[in-house]
Amino acid sequence: MAVTAPEHPSATTQPSARPVEPPLSRLDRLRVAAPSDPLTSWLLIGGLGVVALILRLVRLSYPSDLIFDEAYYPPEAGEILQFGYEYNRGYTFIVHPPLGKWCIAVGEYLFGYNSLGWRFPSALAGAISIVILARIVRRMTRSTLLGLVAGLLLTFDGLSFVLSRTGILDIFIQPFVLAGFACLVIDRDRYRAHLATVVSTMDTSLGTFGPRVGPRGWRLSAGMLLGLACSVKWSGIYFLAGFAIMSLLWDRAARKSAGVSRPTRAAALRDLPGAAWALGVLPVLTYLLTWTGWFVGETSQGRHWAEQNPETSYPFIPGAIRSLWHMHVEMFTFHSGLDSSHPWESKPWSWLVDGRPILLWNPQGLTDGNGDQIVRYILMVGTPALWFAFAPAMVWMVWRMLAHRDWRAAAVLVGISAGWLSWFANLERTMFIFYMAPVVPFFVMAVALMLGDVLGRARDSALRRQFGLGAISLYIALVVLNFVYLYPILTGLPLSHDAWLARMWFPSWF
Protein backbone atom coordinates (compact mmCIF):
# COMPACT_ATOMS: atom_id res chain seq x y z
CA MET A 1 0.00 0.00 0.00
CA ALA A 2 1.30 3.41 -0.90
CA VAL A 3 1.93 5.86 1.91
CA THR A 4 1.04 9.46 1.28
CA ALA A 5 3.76 11.90 2.27
CA PRO A 6 2.85 14.54 4.85
CA GLU A 7 1.95 17.96 3.54
CA HIS A 8 4.75 19.55 5.64
CA PRO A 9 7.71 17.17 5.69
CA SER A 10 9.45 19.19 8.41
CA ALA A 11 6.77 18.15 10.87
CA THR A 12 8.19 14.65 10.92
CA THR A 13 11.68 15.79 11.90
CA GLN A 14 11.07 18.75 14.22
CA PRO A 15 10.04 18.20 17.87
CA SER A 16 6.36 18.55 18.49
CA ALA A 17 5.15 21.77 20.05
CA ARG A 18 4.31 21.80 23.74
CA PRO A 19 0.64 20.91 24.11
CA VAL A 20 -1.60 23.81 24.90
CA GLU A 21 -3.44 23.34 28.17
CA PRO A 22 -7.19 23.73 27.85
CA PRO A 23 -8.70 26.76 29.53
CA LEU A 24 -9.91 26.24 33.07
CA SER A 25 -13.59 25.66 33.56
CA ARG A 26 -15.68 27.78 35.89
CA LEU A 27 -15.49 25.08 38.55
CA ASP A 28 -11.70 24.78 38.21
CA ARG A 29 -11.34 28.53 38.64
CA LEU A 30 -13.41 28.47 41.83
CA ARG A 31 -12.26 25.27 43.49
CA VAL A 32 -9.69 25.60 46.29
CA ALA A 33 -7.46 22.59 46.93
CA ALA A 34 -6.57 22.17 50.58
CA PRO A 35 -3.36 20.49 51.79
CA SER A 36 -3.82 16.90 52.89
CA ASP A 37 -2.01 17.12 56.24
CA PRO A 38 -4.34 18.98 58.65
CA LEU A 39 -3.24 17.13 61.80
CA THR A 40 0.46 17.16 60.97
CA SER A 41 0.34 20.85 60.11
CA TRP A 42 -1.33 21.74 63.41
CA LEU A 43 1.25 19.71 65.35
CA LEU A 44 4.19 21.29 63.53
CA ILE A 45 2.91 24.87 63.58
CA GLY A 46 1.64 24.51 67.15
CA GLY A 47 5.04 23.17 68.18
CA LEU A 48 6.71 26.14 66.52
CA GLY A 49 4.42 28.44 68.49
CA VAL A 50 5.41 26.75 71.77
CA VAL A 51 9.11 27.09 70.92
CA ALA A 52 8.62 30.76 70.05
CA LEU A 53 6.78 31.40 73.32
CA ILE A 54 9.50 29.69 75.38
CA LEU A 55 12.16 31.70 73.57
CA ARG A 56 10.34 34.89 74.52
CA LEU A 57 9.71 33.84 78.13
CA VAL A 58 13.34 33.09 78.99
CA ARG A 59 14.48 35.81 81.44
CA LEU A 60 11.42 37.84 80.47
CA SER A 61 11.43 39.83 83.72
CA TYR A 62 14.98 41.08 83.04
CA PRO A 63 15.55 43.95 83.42
CA SER A 64 13.10 44.74 86.17
CA ASP A 65 13.14 48.45 85.28
CA LEU A 66 10.54 50.21 83.17
CA ILE A 67 12.27 50.61 79.81
CA PHE A 68 11.45 53.15 77.09
CA ASP A 69 7.66 53.57 76.66
CA GLU A 70 6.98 51.12 79.50
CA ALA A 71 7.09 54.32 81.53
CA TYR A 72 3.57 55.02 80.19
CA TYR A 73 1.65 51.85 79.45
CA PRO A 74 2.18 49.50 82.43
CA PRO A 75 1.21 52.30 84.90
CA GLU A 76 -1.87 53.10 82.81
CA ALA A 77 -2.68 49.38 82.66
CA GLY A 78 -2.45 49.30 86.44
CA GLU A 79 -4.96 52.14 86.63
CA ILE A 80 -7.28 50.31 84.23
CA LEU A 81 -7.01 47.25 86.45
CA GLN A 82 -7.94 49.35 89.49
CA PHE A 83 -10.54 51.74 88.09
CA GLY A 84 -11.56 50.34 84.70
CA TYR A 85 -10.01 53.32 82.89
CA GLU A 86 -6.91 55.49 82.93
CA TYR A 87 -7.20 57.79 85.90
CA ASN A 88 -7.45 61.46 84.96
CA ARG A 89 -4.46 62.77 86.84
CA GLY A 90 -4.72 66.22 85.31
CA TYR A 91 -1.08 66.48 84.24
CA THR A 92 -1.05 63.84 81.49
CA PHE A 93 -2.95 63.15 78.31
CA ILE A 94 -4.10 59.71 77.22
CA VAL A 95 -3.32 59.43 73.52
CA HIS A 96 -4.16 55.82 72.62
CA PRO A 97 -7.31 53.66 72.88
CA PRO A 98 -7.53 51.35 75.89
CA LEU A 99 -7.40 47.80 74.51
CA GLY A 100 -3.61 47.40 74.44
CA LYS A 101 -3.47 48.58 78.04
CA TRP A 102 -6.22 46.12 78.93
CA CYS A 103 -4.00 43.37 77.50
CA ILE A 104 -1.09 44.47 79.69
CA ALA A 105 -3.48 44.69 82.65
CA VAL A 106 -4.30 40.98 82.29
CA GLY A 107 -0.64 40.14 82.85
CA GLU A 108 -0.46 42.47 85.84
CA TYR A 109 -3.54 40.77 87.27
CA LEU A 110 -1.96 37.31 86.87
CA PHE A 111 1.60 38.07 88.00
CA GLY A 112 1.40 41.40 89.79
CA TYR A 113 2.66 44.85 88.97
CA ASN A 114 6.16 43.83 87.97
CA SER A 115 8.20 43.32 84.83
CA LEU A 116 6.92 39.76 84.34
CA GLY A 117 3.33 40.94 84.71
CA TRP A 118 3.50 43.77 82.20
CA ARG A 119 5.57 41.79 79.65
CA PHE A 120 3.93 38.36 79.68
CA PRO A 121 0.97 39.45 77.48
CA SER A 122 3.42 40.79 74.90
CA ALA A 123 5.24 37.45 74.76
CA LEU A 124 1.94 35.63 74.32
CA ALA A 125 0.82 38.04 71.59
CA GLY A 126 4.10 37.56 69.73
CA ALA A 127 3.86 33.75 69.83
CA ILE A 128 0.22 33.80 68.72
CA SER A 129 1.17 36.01 65.76
CA ILE A 130 3.71 33.43 64.63
CA VAL A 131 1.12 30.64 64.64
CA ILE A 132 -1.43 32.77 62.77
CA LEU A 133 1.13 33.82 60.18
CA ALA A 134 2.18 30.22 59.54
CA ARG A 135 -1.45 29.16 59.13
CA ILE A 136 -2.16 32.05 56.75
CA VAL A 137 0.80 31.27 54.49
CA ARG A 138 -0.08 27.58 54.53
CA ARG A 139 -3.60 28.37 53.37
CA MET A 140 -2.49 30.88 50.75
CA THR A 141 0.19 28.61 49.26
CA ARG A 142 -1.38 25.22 50.07
CA SER A 143 2.02 24.31 51.52
CA THR A 144 2.71 23.45 55.15
CA LEU A 145 6.43 23.79 54.39
CA LEU A 146 6.10 27.43 53.33
CA GLY A 147 3.84 28.12 56.31
CA LEU A 148 6.57 26.82 58.62
CA VAL A 149 9.15 28.89 56.74
CA ALA A 150 7.14 32.07 57.37
CA GLY A 151 6.64 31.16 61.03
CA LEU A 152 10.34 30.48 61.52
CA LEU A 153 11.33 33.77 59.93
CA LEU A 154 9.01 35.74 62.23
CA THR A 155 10.20 33.72 65.24
CA PHE A 156 13.75 34.88 64.62
CA ASP A 157 12.99 38.48 63.71
CA GLY A 158 14.83 40.64 66.20
CA LEU A 159 12.37 43.54 66.26
CA SER A 160 9.33 41.32 66.79
CA PHE A 161 11.27 39.36 69.42
CA VAL A 162 12.21 42.45 71.43
CA LEU A 163 8.69 43.88 71.15
CA SER A 164 7.38 40.54 72.43
CA ARG A 165 9.48 41.09 75.55
CA THR A 166 8.48 44.70 76.17
CA GLY A 167 5.31 46.07 77.71
CA ILE A 168 4.35 48.55 74.99
CA LEU A 169 1.31 48.60 72.73
CA ASP A 170 2.48 47.92 69.19
CA ILE A 171 2.97 44.16 69.58
CA PHE A 172 -0.77 43.77 70.28
CA ILE A 173 -1.77 45.19 66.90
CA GLN A 174 0.09 42.34 65.23
CA PRO A 175 -2.12 39.36 66.21
CA PHE A 176 -5.39 41.26 65.69
CA VAL A 177 -4.40 42.44 62.20
CA LEU A 178 -3.11 38.98 61.25
CA ALA A 179 -6.20 37.25 62.62
CA GLY A 180 -8.49 39.66 60.74
CA PHE A 181 -6.55 39.05 57.53
CA ALA A 182 -6.69 35.28 58.11
CA CYS A 183 -10.47 35.42 58.51
CA LEU A 184 -10.79 37.26 55.19
CA VAL A 185 -8.60 34.67 53.43
CA ILE A 186 -10.80 31.90 54.84
CA ASP A 187 -13.89 33.88 53.82
CA ARG A 188 -12.50 34.12 50.29
CA ASP A 189 -12.08 30.35 50.10
CA ARG A 190 -15.53 29.65 51.55
CA TYR A 191 -17.18 32.18 49.24
CA ARG A 192 -15.59 30.66 46.16
CA ALA A 193 -16.51 27.17 47.33
CA HIS A 194 -20.13 28.31 47.73
CA LEU A 195 -20.18 29.71 44.21
CA ALA A 196 -18.63 26.47 42.92
CA THR A 197 -21.45 24.53 44.52
CA VAL A 198 -24.02 26.78 42.86
CA VAL A 199 -22.31 26.46 39.48
CA SER A 200 -22.15 22.66 39.72
CA THR A 201 -25.90 22.40 40.35
CA MET A 202 -26.98 24.73 37.52
CA ASP A 203 -27.26 23.90 33.86
CA THR A 204 -27.33 27.53 32.73
CA SER A 205 -25.21 30.60 33.46
CA LEU A 206 -25.55 32.59 36.66
CA GLY A 207 -26.94 35.55 34.76
CA THR A 208 -26.21 39.19 35.42
CA PHE A 209 -25.67 39.15 39.19
CA GLY A 210 -25.41 35.60 40.41
CA PRO A 211 -26.73 34.20 43.69
CA ARG A 212 -27.25 36.01 46.94
CA VAL A 213 -25.03 34.88 49.78
CA GLY A 214 -26.22 34.86 53.36
CA PRO A 215 -24.33 35.99 56.46
CA ARG A 216 -20.61 35.36 56.21
CA GLY A 217 -19.28 34.51 59.64
CA TRP A 218 -15.60 34.75 58.73
CA ARG A 219 -16.05 38.24 57.32
CA LEU A 220 -17.94 39.29 60.45
CA SER A 221 -15.12 37.88 62.58
CA ALA A 222 -12.61 39.83 60.49
CA GLY A 223 -14.54 43.04 61.14
CA MET A 224 -14.47 42.48 64.90
CA LEU A 225 -10.77 41.60 64.94
CA LEU A 226 -9.77 44.58 62.82
CA GLY A 227 -11.93 46.77 65.07
CA LEU A 228 -9.90 45.42 68.00
CA ALA A 229 -6.68 46.28 66.14
CA CYS A 230 -7.91 49.88 65.87
CA SER A 231 -8.68 49.73 69.60
CA VAL A 232 -4.99 49.19 70.33
CA LYS A 233 -3.70 51.96 68.07
CA TRP A 234 -5.32 53.95 65.31
CA SER A 235 -2.80 52.67 62.78
CA GLY A 236 -5.08 49.63 62.55
CA ILE A 237 -7.52 51.80 60.56
CA TYR A 238 -5.31 51.58 57.47
CA PHE A 239 -5.42 47.78 57.58
CA LEU A 240 -9.19 47.82 58.03
CA ALA A 241 -9.70 50.10 55.03
CA GLY A 242 -7.25 48.25 52.79
CA PHE A 243 -8.57 44.81 53.65
CA ALA A 244 -12.20 45.91 53.20
CA ILE A 245 -11.48 47.02 49.62
CA MET A 246 -9.42 43.89 49.01
CA SER A 247 -12.24 41.63 50.19
CA LEU A 248 -14.74 43.27 47.85
CA LEU A 249 -12.34 42.88 44.93
CA TRP A 250 -12.06 39.20 45.82
CA ASP A 251 -15.87 38.97 45.68
CA ARG A 252 -15.91 40.55 42.25
CA ALA A 253 -13.19 38.20 40.98
CA ALA A 254 -15.08 35.18 42.35
CA ARG A 255 -18.30 36.20 40.63
CA LYS A 256 -16.42 36.78 37.39
CA SER A 257 -14.84 33.32 37.64
CA ALA A 258 -18.30 31.86 38.23
CA GLY A 259 -19.49 33.30 34.93
CA VAL A 260 -21.52 36.27 36.15
CA SER A 261 -21.90 38.66 33.24
CA ARG A 262 -21.71 41.88 35.29
CA PRO A 263 -19.34 41.04 38.17
CA THR A 264 -18.70 44.64 39.26
CA ARG A 265 -22.38 45.49 39.49
CA ALA A 266 -23.07 42.13 41.09
CA ALA A 267 -20.47 42.71 43.81
CA ALA A 268 -21.86 46.21 44.45
CA LEU A 269 -25.45 44.99 44.78
CA ARG A 270 -24.99 41.54 46.31
CA ASP A 271 -21.82 41.84 48.40
CA LEU A 272 -21.27 45.50 49.29
CA PRO A 273 -24.19 45.79 51.77
CA GLY A 274 -22.95 42.86 53.84
CA ALA A 275 -19.37 44.09 53.63
CA ALA A 276 -20.45 47.56 54.77
CA TRP A 277 -21.92 46.01 57.89
CA ALA A 278 -19.13 43.52 58.57
CA LEU A 279 -16.17 45.79 57.74
CA GLY A 280 -17.73 49.19 58.38
CA VAL A 281 -20.32 49.24 61.14
CA LEU A 282 -19.16 46.25 63.16
CA PRO A 283 -15.58 47.48 63.64
CA VAL A 284 -16.92 50.81 64.92
CA LEU A 285 -19.21 49.05 67.40
CA THR A 286 -16.32 46.83 68.49
CA TYR A 287 -14.11 49.88 68.96
CA LEU A 288 -16.74 51.64 71.08
CA LEU A 289 -17.19 48.53 73.21
CA THR A 290 -13.54 48.66 74.26
CA TRP A 291 -14.24 52.11 75.73
CA THR A 292 -16.82 50.72 78.19
CA GLY A 293 -14.62 51.48 81.19
CA TRP A 294 -14.28 55.09 80.04
CA PHE A 295 -18.06 55.44 79.60
CA VAL A 296 -18.87 54.20 83.11
CA GLY A 297 -16.01 56.04 84.82
CA GLU A 298 -16.68 59.22 86.74
CA THR A 299 -13.13 60.55 86.64
CA SER A 300 -11.97 59.20 83.28
CA GLN A 301 -10.26 61.77 81.08
CA GLY A 302 -12.72 64.09 79.30
CA ARG A 303 -15.73 61.98 80.29
CA HIS A 304 -17.88 65.01 81.27
CA TRP A 305 -16.62 67.48 78.69
CA ALA A 306 -20.05 67.84 77.05
CA GLU A 307 -21.69 68.65 80.39
CA GLN A 308 -19.07 71.31 81.05
CA ASN A 309 -19.57 72.76 77.55
CA PRO A 310 -23.35 72.69 76.97
CA GLU A 311 -23.15 75.28 74.19
CA THR A 312 -21.44 72.86 71.80
CA SER A 313 -23.06 71.78 68.54
CA TYR A 314 -25.44 68.86 68.12
CA PRO A 315 -26.98 68.90 71.61
CA PHE A 316 -29.35 66.09 70.59
CA ILE A 317 -26.39 63.66 70.57
CA PRO A 318 -25.84 62.03 73.99
CA GLY A 319 -23.27 63.87 76.05
CA ALA A 320 -21.04 60.83 76.48
CA ILE A 321 -20.71 60.43 72.71
CA ARG A 322 -19.93 64.14 72.25
CA SER A 323 -17.34 63.94 75.02
CA LEU A 324 -15.72 60.92 73.42
CA TRP A 325 -15.71 62.65 70.03
CA HIS A 326 -14.03 65.73 71.53
CA MET A 327 -11.41 63.54 73.17
CA HIS A 328 -10.72 61.84 69.85
CA VAL A 329 -10.31 65.21 68.13
CA GLU A 330 -7.70 66.12 70.74
CA MET A 331 -5.97 62.76 70.27
CA PHE A 332 -5.92 63.24 66.50
CA THR A 333 -4.50 66.74 66.90
CA PHE A 334 -1.78 65.37 69.15
CA HIS A 335 -0.76 62.59 66.78
CA SER A 336 -0.89 64.62 63.59
CA GLY A 337 1.17 67.42 65.14
CA LEU A 338 3.71 65.28 67.01
CA ASP A 339 7.03 66.61 65.73
CA SER A 340 9.25 66.84 68.80
CA SER A 341 12.80 65.64 68.19
CA HIS A 342 13.92 62.34 69.70
CA PRO A 343 17.39 60.73 69.59
CA TRP A 344 15.99 57.43 68.29
CA GLU A 345 13.38 58.66 65.84
CA SER A 346 13.52 57.50 62.24
CA LYS A 347 11.65 57.78 58.95
CA PRO A 348 9.88 54.96 57.12
CA TRP A 349 12.30 54.79 54.19
CA SER A 350 15.05 53.76 56.61
CA TRP A 351 13.06 51.05 58.34
CA LEU A 352 13.57 48.40 55.65
CA VAL A 353 17.33 48.43 56.21
CA ASP A 354 17.35 48.81 60.02
CA GLY A 355 18.40 52.40 59.48
CA ARG A 356 17.71 53.58 63.02
CA PRO A 357 16.79 50.97 65.64
CA ILE A 358 15.89 51.96 69.20
CA LEU A 359 18.02 51.68 72.30
CA LEU A 360 15.70 50.53 75.09
CA TRP A 361 18.13 49.96 77.94
CA ASN A 362 21.82 50.61 78.62
CA PRO A 363 22.86 51.00 82.28
CA GLN A 364 26.21 52.72 82.71
CA GLY A 365 29.18 52.23 85.01
CA LEU A 366 29.37 48.41 85.02
CA THR A 367 32.77 46.70 85.21
CA ASP A 368 34.06 43.17 85.70
CA GLY A 369 36.55 42.00 88.34
CA ASN A 370 39.43 43.40 86.32
CA GLY A 371 37.89 46.82 86.01
CA ASP A 372 37.06 46.35 82.31
CA GLN A 373 33.81 47.81 81.03
CA ILE A 374 30.74 45.57 80.81
CA VAL A 375 28.03 46.55 78.36
CA ARG A 376 24.39 45.59 78.78
CA TYR A 377 22.39 46.74 75.80
CA ILE A 378 18.83 46.13 74.61
CA LEU A 379 18.47 47.27 71.02
CA MET A 380 15.15 46.96 69.18
CA VAL A 381 16.48 46.00 65.76
CA GLY A 382 15.25 43.69 63.03
CA THR A 383 17.39 40.72 62.06
CA PRO A 384 19.39 42.14 59.11
CA ALA A 385 19.53 38.85 57.16
CA LEU A 386 15.72 38.93 57.12
CA TRP A 387 15.05 42.65 56.83
CA PHE A 388 17.47 43.18 53.94
CA ALA A 389 15.26 40.78 51.96
CA PHE A 390 12.14 42.90 52.51
CA ALA A 391 12.69 45.35 49.65
CA PRO A 392 13.56 42.67 47.03
CA ALA A 393 10.59 40.58 48.18
CA MET A 394 8.27 43.58 47.86
CA VAL A 395 9.49 44.21 44.31
CA TRP A 396 9.02 40.50 43.56
CA MET A 397 5.41 40.73 44.77
CA VAL A 398 4.78 43.67 42.44
CA TRP A 399 6.14 41.63 39.54
CA ARG A 400 4.02 38.60 40.45
CA MET A 401 0.91 40.73 40.75
CA LEU A 402 1.44 42.44 37.38
CA ALA A 403 2.86 39.55 35.40
CA HIS A 404 0.85 36.67 36.83
CA ARG A 405 -2.14 38.42 38.39
CA ASP A 406 -1.30 36.59 41.61
CA TRP A 407 -3.95 37.41 44.22
CA ARG A 408 -1.61 36.39 47.02
CA ALA A 409 1.02 38.90 45.97
CA ALA A 410 -1.65 41.59 45.68
CA ALA A 411 -2.95 40.78 49.19
CA VAL A 412 0.55 41.02 50.66
CA LEU A 413 1.05 44.37 48.97
CA VAL A 414 -2.21 45.65 50.47
CA GLY A 415 -0.87 44.76 53.92
CA ILE A 416 2.48 46.42 53.19
CA SER A 417 0.75 49.55 51.90
CA ALA A 418 -1.44 49.75 55.00
CA GLY A 419 1.37 49.20 57.48
CA TRP A 420 4.35 50.89 55.85
CA LEU A 421 3.46 53.20 52.96
CA SER A 422 0.76 54.86 55.08
CA TRP A 423 3.48 56.42 57.26
CA PHE A 424 4.73 58.44 54.29
CA ALA A 425 1.56 60.56 54.46
CA ASN A 426 2.93 62.72 57.30
CA LEU A 427 6.71 62.68 57.24
CA GLU A 428 6.94 65.65 59.60
CA ARG A 429 5.64 63.46 62.42
CA THR A 430 8.01 61.91 64.96
CA MET A 431 8.23 58.19 64.12
CA PHE A 432 9.98 55.09 65.41
CA ILE A 433 10.91 51.77 63.84
CA PHE A 434 8.59 49.80 66.12
CA TYR A 435 5.67 51.23 64.13
CA MET A 436 6.63 48.42 61.73
CA ALA A 437 5.30 45.80 64.18
CA PRO A 438 1.99 45.02 62.41
CA VAL A 439 3.48 45.09 58.90
CA VAL A 440 6.56 42.93 59.52
CA PRO A 441 4.47 39.72 59.10
CA PHE A 442 3.37 40.91 55.64
CA PHE A 443 6.97 41.51 54.62
CA VAL A 444 7.71 38.02 55.94
CA MET A 445 4.83 36.71 53.81
CA ALA A 446 6.45 38.36 50.80
CA VAL A 447 9.77 36.68 51.60
CA ALA A 448 8.03 33.31 52.08
CA LEU A 449 6.22 33.62 48.73
CA MET A 450 9.50 34.57 47.05
CA LEU A 451 11.13 31.51 48.63
CA GLY A 452 8.22 29.48 47.28
CA ASP A 453 9.31 30.50 43.79
CA VAL A 454 12.86 29.48 44.70
CA LEU A 455 11.53 26.06 45.76
CA GLY A 456 9.73 25.63 42.45
CA ARG A 457 6.42 24.06 41.47
CA ALA A 458 5.26 20.55 42.28
CA ARG A 459 5.59 19.49 38.62
CA ASP A 460 9.24 20.60 38.45
CA SER A 461 11.96 17.96 38.43
CA ALA A 462 13.11 16.42 41.69
CA LEU A 463 16.59 17.87 41.18
CA ARG A 464 15.16 21.36 40.70
CA ARG A 465 13.12 21.01 43.88
CA GLN A 466 16.09 19.72 45.86
CA PHE A 467 18.21 22.69 44.85
CA GLY A 468 15.36 25.00 45.80
CA LEU A 469 14.89 23.34 49.17
CA GLY A 470 18.62 23.54 49.83
CA ALA A 471 18.65 27.26 49.05
CA ILE A 472 15.71 27.88 51.39
CA SER A 473 17.38 25.86 54.15
CA LEU A 474 20.59 27.85 53.81
CA TYR A 475 18.71 31.13 53.97
CA ILE A 476 16.75 30.15 57.08
CA ALA A 477 20.00 29.00 58.70
CA LEU A 478 21.54 32.39 57.90
CA VAL A 479 18.61 34.23 59.53
CA VAL A 480 18.74 32.01 62.63
CA LEU A 481 22.51 32.40 62.99
CA ASN A 482 22.20 36.17 62.56
CA PHE A 483 19.57 36.25 65.30
CA VAL A 484 21.67 34.09 67.63
CA TYR A 485 24.69 36.33 67.10
CA LEU A 486 22.68 39.45 67.94
CA TYR A 487 20.82 37.78 70.82
CA PRO A 488 22.97 39.38 73.56
CA ILE A 489 22.11 42.92 72.40
CA LEU A 490 18.45 41.96 72.02
CA THR A 491 18.19 40.78 75.63
CA GLY A 492 20.71 42.85 77.58
CA LEU A 493 23.16 40.05 78.32
CA PRO A 494 26.52 41.26 79.73
CA LEU A 495 29.17 41.69 77.04
CA SER A 496 32.72 42.93 76.98
CA HIS A 497 33.13 46.21 75.17
CA ASP A 498 34.78 44.49 72.21
CA ALA A 499 32.07 41.83 71.94
CA TRP A 500 29.38 44.50 72.08
CA LEU A 501 31.16 46.62 69.49
CA ALA A 502 31.39 43.64 67.12
CA ARG A 503 27.58 43.42 67.11
CA MET A 504 27.01 47.10 66.41
CA TRP A 505 27.18 46.80 62.64
CA PHE A 506 26.25 50.34 61.58
CA PRO A 507 26.94 53.80 63.04
CA SER A 508 23.18 54.45 63.26
CA TRP A 509 22.87 51.62 65.78
CA PHE A 510 24.76 53.63 68.43
From residue 290, how far is each of 81, 106, 378 by CA, in Å? 14, 14, 32
Q: What's the distance, CA 191 to chain centroid?
A: 23
* Residue 33 CB neighbours (<10 A): 6
Q: How far apart are the first and last CA of the chain?
A: 90
DSSP 485-497: HHHHHHHT--EEH
Q: What Å distances lie between residue 79 and 290, 308, 484, CA to CA?
A: 15, 24, 37
Name residues whose C-beta falls within 8 Å of residue 428's C-beta, 6 or more positions apart in sequence.
339
Cα–Cα distance, 144 to 124 (Å, whole number):
23
What DSSP line would sit under 330-346, residue for residue? HHHHHHHT-----TT--
Model pTM score:
0.92
pLDDT in tens, the chain (510 residues): 344 444 444 444 444 444 445 555 666 667 777 777 889 999 999 999 999 999 999 999 999 999 999 999 999 999 999 999 888 665 567 889 999 999 999 999 999 999 999 999 999 999 999 999 999 999 999 999 999 999 999 999 999 999 999 999 999 999 999 999 999 999 999 999 988 888 887 756 677 778 888 889 999 999 999 999 999 999 999 999 999 999 999 999 999 988 888 999 999 999 999 999 999 999 999 999 999 999 998 888 888 888 888 887 777 888 889 999 989 998 988 888 888 889 999 999 999 999 999 999 999 878 777 778 899 999 999 999 999 999 999 999 999 999 999 999 999 999 999 999 999 999 999 999 999 999 999 999 999 999 999 998 888 888 999 999 999 999 999 999 999 999 999 999 999 999 999 999 999 999
- Collapse the DSSP code of 449 into the 3-class scheme (helix H, G, I; strand E, B; otherwise coil) and give the result: helix
